[in-house]
Amino acid sequence: MPIEMDQTHFLTDKLKTLECQSRGKEERIIALETENAMLYLKLAQLQGILRDSREETGHLKRVNESDQLQRQRTGESLATLSGQVKALRDEMKQLRLDAVALPHQFQVEYDNAMSQARLQTQKMRLNYSNVSDMEKKMVDMEAALQEANARHAKEKKRRRELHNTLMELRGNIRVHCRIRPLMEFDVGNQDVSTLGRPGSLSEVVTHVMDDENVVVKTSKHSKVYEFERVYSPQESQEAVFEEVQPMLTSLLDGYNVCIMAYGQTGSGKTHTMLGSHKDEDYHVTTEPHPDEGIIPRATRELLRLMEEKPPDTHSAEVSVVEIYNNDILDLLSSDPRAKHDLVTNTDGSMCVPTVTSRPVKTVYEVMSLVQHGLKARREIATLVHEHSSRSHLVVTLTVSIKPNMFLFPPATPGSPTEGVFAVPLSPAPRDKPPRRQLPPQPQGYTGAKQTIRSRSPSPVLLAQTPTGSTVKTKLQLVDLAGSECVGMSGVTGQALRETSHINKSLCALADVLGALAEHRAHVPYRNSKITHLLQDSIGGDAKLLAMLCVSPAQRYVTESLQCLGFGQRARQVQRGPIKRKLPPSLERVGPGDSSYSGRNSPRPKSAGPLRT
């Protein structure tokens, strides 16, 4: 039986040996991995160096190519410059040759020029006398032309003055016409780019021939209308007022004045009478504004004339009414919707006693009151006009004049002319100086007999002036509502009813003028409130100016012809001499009265107080 050996010690040694070997191999693996990582790192460095080298090599190649291209371009430029240098050398050579020949050519040209100069000098000497004669004739013709122009202007002014005098004697209605510029709304439903284009709705067919004639181009032929004054679209508000201004002096001389604007809606009536719609306050300022209309300008001029008079002799008050749907409404009252009635005074004149009148002293006060009234005035926007007035506006300025100041200039207390007034009788013959006589004075009168000239055209006599009465004259400024074509304006409902009343009242105004022109026995003033209210002015108790406002566009040619025809009918009205306002206690005596016995006839002592 074999002997059993103890193998535990042997296995333990062998295990240790194997563990040592295993550790050695692991250390070897770690060393190899470390070495491998270092090799990878070195490889990456070498790859980076290789990449940089390749980039540098590419850059060098590009630089080299650029240098080669630059050298090629430089060579081409050098060749071009060489060619230019050669050409310049050839040109310089030619210039040198020309410079050598230039003195000879200059001498030849100089000799030719001198020959021509001598020849022209001889011709000028020959024609000098003719030129002198022509210059003298030209000076004479210019002088004659200037003289003719001056005479023409003088005669034109004299003709207009005589025409106005004749109109005053006949009582004619002055008619002016103003053509407004084209506006964007004149194109209707067409594009704005067609404004004024021939054949379009906004084609200009109403033109100004001169300052007295208007021509309207129609489909058949052109029609020409003549008026006292025609304003072109370019003329300003100031130019319009310059023609109106002389009428205001008559107001302080005792004559009523009425200025009315007539025309279709959108033709510029309110702009002419009040001012631009761009300013909703119509330029209510203390200073003049270039766009303000006739009403503020007339007010400013009237108050200026009153300021030139002695203090406390003239006063003014204003009222603002509208005729809406044939009803008279007071725009200054606390109830602007209340209706007012017309009343006939004892002297036959028309008035509205219940209308509010406010005393005024400045233009600002007047325009503030007018603006207050305009806020209550009816306006709507139609297809024709954005601010279409639905009523007639009547602004009345009433001037109260003390009779002493009305009939003669002021006299100092105790002077011979105090309390006495006189105006010229019928004109004396031209070969004799005019003579005027004072009638016998009442008992107790100790003043010297003296005649004082008045502007009144009617013959009156001399008398003691009553001190308890005043003379009132009125300036009526009327902005009529515009006539409308219902189909064009597109109004309905209440606006249609307003349009009906407006057109009826304007037709009534045309009927009144027609009756006056034809001297009919009955004049239908009462057919409309506007004609009834303006009866005094239209019928001959005022100097009346009708301002026709017309659109130039083809779209409104029918309305323009109607408006111009209205003006022609108005010019045919002859109302007789305009009556001058006198104090209530005086009456007018003329050659047709039985109490008037001639210029130098003595006045019976029993005749009582003297009247005019």
Return the beta strands (E) in 363-419 as ranges.
Answer: 379-380, 388-389, 392-401
Give pLDDT, residue 601: 41
Instruction: Looking at the structure, tell me whether residues 398 and 509 fall in a common domain.
Output: yes
Tell me how far CA of residue 392 lies from CA of 275, 355, 459, in angstroms.
16, 16, 38
Q: Which of 433, 104, 476 is nearest to 255 (CA)?
A: 476
Instruction: Looking at the structure, tell me whether residues 158 and 256 fall in a common domain.
Output: no
Digit-coded pLDDT (tens) for 351-388: 899 999 999 999 889 988 988 888 877 655 554 445 56
Instruction: Looking at the structure, tell me whether residues 130 and 270 fall in a common domain.
Output: no
Give the DSSP letter string of 458-526.
S----EEPPSS--EEEEEEEEEPPPB--HHHH---THHHHHHHHHHHHHHHHHHHHHHHHTT-S---GG
Q: Which of 589, 591, 585, 593 is nearest to 609 (CA)?
A: 585
Is residue 250 within 8 A of residue 333, CB to CB? The reply is: no
Is residue 403 within 8 A of residue 396, CB to CB? The reply is: no
Give pLDDT, residue 43: 92
Is residue 331 within 8 A of residue 320, CB to CB? The reply is: yes
Give pLDDT, residue 278: 56
| CATH number of the domain where residue 302 is located | 3.40.850.10
Query: Residue 10: inside a domain, yes or no?
Result: no
Region for residue 326 given its phi and psi (left: phi exceeds 0; alpha: psi -120 to 50; beta: otherwise): left
Q: Residue 552 pLDDT > 90, yes or no? A: yes
Q: Which of 153, 388, 139 is nearest to 268 (CA)?
A: 388
> What is the mean predicted confidence (pLDDT) over 533-540?
84
- Rounded to 5 degrees, what are φ and ψ at 195? -55, 120
Instruction: Looking at the structure, tell me whether residues 116 and 204 fall in a common domain.
Output: no
Rounded-to-10 torsion of CA 554, 557, 559, 562: 170
Q: How does the average pLDDT of the chain come out, rounded?
A: 78
Give pLDDT, residue 169: 66
Task: Give 309's DSSP letter.
Answer: S
Q: Residue 74 pLDDT > 70, yes or no? A: yes
Contacts (Cβ under 8 Å, ≥6 apart) of 214: 177, 179, 206, 207, 208, 224, 225, 227, 230, 550, 564
Instruction: Looking at the structure, tell me whether residues 165 and 187 fall in a common domain.
Output: no
Give pLDDT, residue 209: 92
Query: Residue 180: inside a domain, yes or no?
Result: yes
Instruction: Looking at the structure, tell me whether residues 160 and 202 fall in a common domain.
Output: no
Query: Residue 47: inside a domain, yes or no?
Result: no
Instruction: Looking at the structure, tell me whether residues 176 and 164 fall in a common domain.
Output: no
> What is the mean predicted confidence (pLDDT) over 430-441?
39
Digit-coded pLDDT (tens) for 296-345: 999 999 999 999 888 888 899 999 999 988 899 999 988 888 889 999 88
- Residue 514 or residue 390, greater confidence: 514
CA 193 – CA 403 distance, rounded (Å): 61
Query: Checking DSSP bridges between strand 222-226 and strand 213-217, what pairing results, if any?
Result: antiparallel
CA 454 – CA 587 distance, rounded (Å): 16
> What is the mean predicted confidence (pLDDT) over 51-77?
91
- Amino acid identity of 527? N
- The binding site for ATP consists of 263-270
From 170, 198, 229, the end of a domain falls on 170
CA 226 – CA 211 distance, rounded (Å): 9
- Rounded to 5 degrees, what are φ and ψ at 126? -70, -35
Q: Which of 449, 455, 417 is nearest to 436 (CA)?
A: 449
Give pLDDT, residue 88: 92
Q: Residue 596 pLDDT > 70, yes or no? A: no
Nearest 5°: CA angle at 554, between 552 and 556? 75
Q: Residue 64 pLDDT > 80, yes or no? A: yes
Query: Residue 15: inside a domain, yes or no?
Result: no
When divided into structural domains, the chain yields a total of: 2
- Rounded to 5 degrees, what are φ and ψ at 215? -120, 135
> What is the mean predicted confidence (pLDDT) over 247-253?
83
Digit-coded pLDDT (tens) for 483-515: 766 545 555 667 678 878 888 999 999 899 888
Q: Can you give 287-307 as a three-state secondary structure string?
A: CCCCCCCHHHHHHHHHHHHHH
Nearest 5°: CA angle at 363, between 473 and 342? 40
Cβ neighbours around 529 below 10 Å, total:
25
- The binding site consists of 263-270
Q: Residue 558 pLDDT > 60, yes or no? A: yes
Question: At 609, is the secondary structure helix, strand, or coil?
Answer: coil
Burial of 358 (0-12, 13-18, 19+ CB in 10 A): middle
- Amino acid identity of 493? G
Query: Residue 402: inside a domain, yes or no?
Result: yes
From 170, 192, 214, the end of a domain falls on 170
Give pLDDT, residue 81: 92
State percent of the chain over pLDDT 90: 33
Cβ neighbours around 325 below 10 Å, total:
17
Query: Residue 393: inside a domain, yes or no?
Result: yes
Query: Checking DSSP bridges between strand 542-550 and strand 256-262, what pairing results, if any?
Result: parallel
H/E run at residue 250: helix 246-252
Question: At 390, is the secondary structure helix, strand, or coil?
Answer: coil
Instruction: Looking at the structure, tell me whether residues 471 and 374 fall in a common domain.
Output: yes
Query: Residue 606: inside a domain, yes or no?
Result: no
The token pair at 10 is: 């042997």
- Residue 35 or residue 416, greater confidence: 35
Query: Residue 479: inside a domain, yes or no?
Result: yes
Digit-coded pLDDT (tens) for 109-140: 888 999 899 888 888 877 887 777 888 889 99
Is residue 283 within 8 A of residue 261, CB to CB? The reply is: no
From 170, 191, 222, the end of a domain falls on 170
Instruction: Looking at the structure, tell me whether residues 131 and 145 fall in a common domain.
Output: yes
Nearest 5°: CA angle at 606, between 605 and 609? 85
* CA terminus-to-terminus distance, the chain: 194
Number of H helices, E strands in the chain: 12, 19
Is residue 451 within 8 A of residue 579, CB to CB? The reply is: no
Instruction: Looking at the structure, tell me whether residues 282 and 418 fall in a common domain.
Output: yes
Instruction: Looking at the structure, tell me whether residues 483 and 573 fall in a common domain.
Output: yes
Range of the domain at 136: 76-170
> What is the mean predicted confidence (pLDDT) over 154-174?
71
Give pLDDT, residue 460: 32
The token pair at 329 is: 């409404």
CA 505 – CA 508 distance, rounded (Å): 5
Is the Cα dihedral 296, 297, 300, 305 positive or negative?
negative
Instruction: Looking at the structure, tell me whether residues 285 and 149 fall in a common domain.
Output: no
> What is the mean predicted confidence (pLDDT) over 218-247?
90
